[in-house]
A = this chain, B = another copy of it.
Amino acid sequence: MHLFFTPDISGDLYQLNEEESKHCIRVLRLINGDIVYLIDGKGGFYKTEIIDAHPKRCALKVLELTERYGKRNFRLHIAIAPTKSIERIEWFLEKVTEMGVDEITPIICQRSERKEVKLDRLNKIIVSAMKQSLKAYQPKLNESIDFKRFIVQSNEKVKFIAHCLDAGRKSLGQSYHKETDVLVLIGPEGDFSEDEITLAMKHGFEPITLGESRLRTETAGIVACAQLNFMNE
């Protein structure tokens, strides 16, 4: 299956950009009449046919549009402290995009060793994982934000904070109800500080555990995503 990410598509005709045209015609050696699929990042999945196999301006005609392709039954927002090694956050992004996620916010916490991320590069990883796993919705990656500012402004109704302190946490399985939109906070290497946990709880975040294992930051994010998607099956 030949699949392209075309967020600017509208109407029944589409012209691939120069790089994509070259890939289609020179690399894949496609010709008029061949089938190419498009995703728009907003739920649209297009079956198209090549009507002009031009190596710089390849023209496509939409044969079939499926809207809300792969629409899930809940909305998942993960706010996660970027890891010291950016590679680990890149893997996290690839994996949660494959599994299913709607929004990701990098949060800068008291114990964060990394204070910034480059969104361009991370968005490329997301788009590549979307194509790989046939996702028509593009997860929204926000600018990084200070933990305290984020906590105060988040207005989701169901909000969890996954931390490692022993006191009074339930499992995600006990706390979450199927088909509910949800925000989960995942802390940095070294965990959230007690102050951060207290502040989050004041603002309606429920403390949860993701199981008995001591997980790395990116693993915790992946496990939370896997558990929530599983509960929504």
Contact = CB atoms under 8 A, between A and B. Distances in A.
A219 to B, nearest CB: 5
Interface residues of A, number: 26
A195 interface: no
B133 A223 contact: no
B223 A211 contact: no
A101 to B, nearest CB: 11
A229 B70 CA distance: 26
A213 B99 contact: yes
Contacts of A98: 213-216, 219
A173 B178 CA distance: 14
Contacts of A171: 233
A100 B212 CA distance: 9
A109 interface: no
Given A91-B91, A233-B173, A70 B212 contact: yes
A230 B222 CA distance: 13
B173 A219 contact: no
A223 B99 contact: yes
* Listed residue (A70, A215, A216, A233) with the most chain B CB atoms within 10 angstroms of its CB: A233
A227 interface: yes
A126 to B, nearest CB: 14
28 contacts: A70-B213, A95-B219, A95-B222, A98-B214, A98-B215, A98-B219, A99-B211, A99-B213, A99-B215, A99-B219, A99-B223, A100-B211, A100-B212, A100-B213, A132-B214, A132-B216, A133-B213, A133-B214, A133-B215, A133-B216, A134-B214, A135-B213, A171-B233, A173-B230, A211-B229, A211-B233, A222-B222, A222-B226
A187 to B, nearest CB: 15
A45 to B, nearest CB: 13
